[in-house]
Structure 1
Amino acid sequence: MNIKSLLLGSAAALVAVSGAHAADAIVAAEPEPLEYVRICDAYGAGYFFIPGTETCLKIGGKVRTEGKWYDAYDPAARNGTIWHTRAELQLQTATDTEYGPLKTNTEIRWDWNDGNATSTNFLHGSISLGGFLVGKEDSQFNVFTGYAGDVINDDVIGDGPYELNQITYNYDAGNGFTAVISVEDSNSGPGAVGSNGEDSHDHYAPDVVAGVGYKAGAWAFKLVGGYDSIVEEGAVKARVDADFGVFSAFVMGGWNTDGDKLNKYANGDSIGQSWGDWAVWGGVGVPINEKLKWNLQLAYTDNKTFAATTNVKWNPVKNLLVQPEISYTNWDSVNQDQWAGILRFQRSF
């Protein structure tokens, strides 16, 4: 066999082998299409679609650390600096339905108090649809009227309960008129066991809150009442707000149906005294510039407890707050008073 024949034979063999393995050739798979996160702005800033669903999600929260000197809520406190750090995580969802947005609100809080063990609080957890809300939120006695002033120590004189289970219906006419009716769990939240020693064992009747409001231009008016079914008493609050741009102000008054008793809605002052027959709160906020705001709140009760707080809220950059605050409380019935201060740093997201 000559060289030419050898070369031709080798070439033929290679062709045959290549043909035999052609069916086994590796073919690269087509890449899966990427699904980028889509913005969902129908429910406000910060929402985005959960990939592969029609549900919108918003993630938020805050990290806060603050030093506190003395205590505006306790006349016996004579401690020096107490350092407190908190983190909160909030998850909100929304999906469009034929009855309007189906929403959830979940919020969890972790606190570290001056070197003690971390405490965890399931702060809020609720579902809402078509004006109805069910789950754990602050009482509508507070939510509907709005909380007291833009200060940290805003409830040295209590203006109602916070976290509790409820079934609530909110109505908004779209012309400034709003209303609320809420059935609230009598066995959850502060005062659930009866503020005056009432026995809540086997108690099934709920508490009830109802309110109406109207807003026109710079002015807003709210009226709300709450009934504590364990104590069998309640309270009524009325509030007026005004916002003129260069400053905002509010005044709020509360009436206790039995001035000799505490109840969940007329929940007294920080040392467990009743309001008496009434309590009043007022405050003003003055935006000095885009980064600086001054606030003042005053409160007083029929039982002569007086509370005053002032602060400055400074935002050196967006979502960062530096807030020094000073408070003074006088409990006339026990002839004691207290000065207190807080310096807060907070990053929100």
Structure 2
Amino acid sequence: MNIKSLLLGSAAALAAASGAHAADAIVAAEPEPLEYVRICDAYGAGYFFIPGTETCLKIGGKVRTEGEWYDAYNRTSKVGTLWHTRAELNVDTATDTEYGPLKTETIVRWDWNDGGSTTTNLLWSYISLGGFTVGKTDSYYNQFVGYAGDVINDDVIYDGPYELNQLTYNYDAGNGFTAVVSLEDSNSGSDSTTYDGAWVQSKADHYAPNVVAGAGYKAGAWSFKVVGGYDSIVEEGAVKARVDADFGAFSAFLMGGWNTDGDKLNQYAGSNQNISACTAPDGTVHGAKCGWGDWAVWGGVGVPFNDKLKWNLQLAYTDSKIFEATTNLKFNPVKNLLVEPELTYVHYDVAKDDTVAGILRFERNF
């Protein structure tokens, strides 16, 4: 064997060995590009795309703590001071579809009062698409007209139901005209009545949903809305009409309600008051007098002094001669922080009594 043959053989052996090692080598995969959170501004501030989807998500909420002195809804309450703390978590989603945005809104609420335990409530949880809303939210008998005044105790005089399941259609013509139609759950409970028999809320009589319908028009600084609700259990209902005006230096509203039977309470002309509101000094209970009677009226003004301070006043009166006056100051020392002292006076004609109640609220929204 000559030197040339030896060198060629060695080179071949080395090449074979190198090939064997190369076959066993692990090749690292290329790293996948990171997907950063993208802002979704199509549905307003605070939304972002859920990574890997075309669904936008918004997370928010509030923390509130407040001291309450006496009770505007119960003239016999002996609780001099009550401290209440609340937290809420809001989760909203939105996805663009051929029928418009497919949205959901969920609000979970936790409450704690002095001497009590924490309670949890699924406040709202609904789906909306193409003008339709299905799920749990406040009755559109309230939402459509905008509730009552810009005060905490705006429903000392009952203005309608809140949390309930519903199927609702909202129409907006785009020229100031709006309308709503809603089928709502009655929130009926056990087979019983309240307010000494004046308000029937019995499951046994619940065969059909309640119905709400309304229409409104807005032109410039003025708006007018009317809405009606029918209680399928009581087989009665109520109608509310509201006028709002914004004059720049102040805003004002006037709202009136009519009960189809003033001797009964129903879901749309009911009462938030303790039965003591319609209990005479001799102990006689006049259940229907805890509600409107035949009619109720609300009015109020709001005066913004600057972008941090606003004063509000609401007055309300009923055919059953319950009078309410509430005033407050809404102070925002910094963005998303509210300090709100409020004072309410209520006079009960049947009970020949008065109540004064106060609230001092601190609230941080995010």
TM-score where L is the length of structure 1:
0.91
After superposing the two structures, state which structure 1 stretch, 297-306 or 72-81, moved more: 72-81
Q: Give the structure 2 partner of residue 8 of structure 1.
A: none
Q: How does 1:320-339 map to 2 (within 5 A)?
A: 320-339=337-356
Structure 2: which amino acid aligns with 1:300?
Y
Given that 1:194 and 1:230 are in contact with CA atoms closer than 8 Å, whether structure 2 keeps it comes out as no
Cα distance in 1 between the residues matched to 2:314 and 2:190: 25
Distance change in 2, residues 1:200/1:19 (3 Å):
closer
Opposite residue 287 of structure 1, the aligned amino acid is P
Which stretches of structure 1, 4 residues or more, deviate above 2 A after TM superposition? Answer: 13-31, 189-200
Give the structure 2 partner of residue 239 of structure 1: 242
Deviations 1:104-138 (A, max 9, x none): 11111000011311001111111111111111111
Structure 1 position 81, deviation (Å): 1.7
1:58-73 map, 5 Å? 58-73=58-73
The aligned residue for residue 264 of structure 2 is 261
| 1:9 alignment counterpart | none
How many residues align? The count is: 339
Residue identity in the other structure for 1:230: I
Shift in Å at residue 268 of structure 1?
A: 3.1
Unaligned runs of 5+ in 2: 1-12, 276-289
Aligned to 1:228: 231
Cα distance in 2 for partners of 1:231, 1:202 equals 8
Please say if 1:51 is aligned against 2:51. yes
Percent of paired sites with the same residue: 75
Aligned pairs (5 A) from 1:115-130:
115-130=115-130
**Is the Cα–Cα contact under 8 Å of residues 199 and 264 in structure 2 kept in the other structure?**
no
Distance change >3 Å, CA 206–CA 248, structure 1 → 2: same
Q: Which residue of 1 aligns with 2:104?
A: 104
Q: Deviations over 1:255-285 (max 9, x none)?
A: 0001111010001351351211100111111
For the Cα contact (< 8 Å) 2:191–2:204, is it kept in 1?
Answer: no
Aligned to 2:204, the other structure's residue is in SS state coil
Length-normalised TM-score, structure 2: 0.87
**Quick check: 1:323–1:345 contact (8 Å CA) kept in 2?**
yes
- TM-aligned CA deviation for residue 20 of structure 1: 6.3
Q: Aligned partner of 1:337: which letter?
A: D
Report SS of the residue matched to 2:333: coil
CA distance in 2, matches of 1:16, 1:260: 104
Given the superposition, is the C-alpha separation of residues 139 and 221 from structure 1 closer, same or farther in structure 2, using an over 3 Å criterion? same
2: CA distance between counterparts of 1:259 and 1:16? 103
Matches within 5 A, 1:68-217: 68-186=68-186, 188=187, 196=198, 198=200, 199-201=202-204, 203-217=206-220
Residue of structure 2 aligned with 1:295, choices 312, 319, 322: 312
| Equivalent of 1:307 in 286, 299, 324 | 324
Contact 1:161 1:190 in 2 (8 A): no
- Mapped to 2, the partners of 1:14 and 1:244 lie a distance apart of 94
Of 242-251 and 210-219, the range deviating more from structure 2:
242-251
Counterpart AA for 1:261: K
Q: Deviations over 1:158-212 (max 9, x none)?
A: 00000111111110000000000111112x1689966535443162211100000
Aligned to 1:37: 37
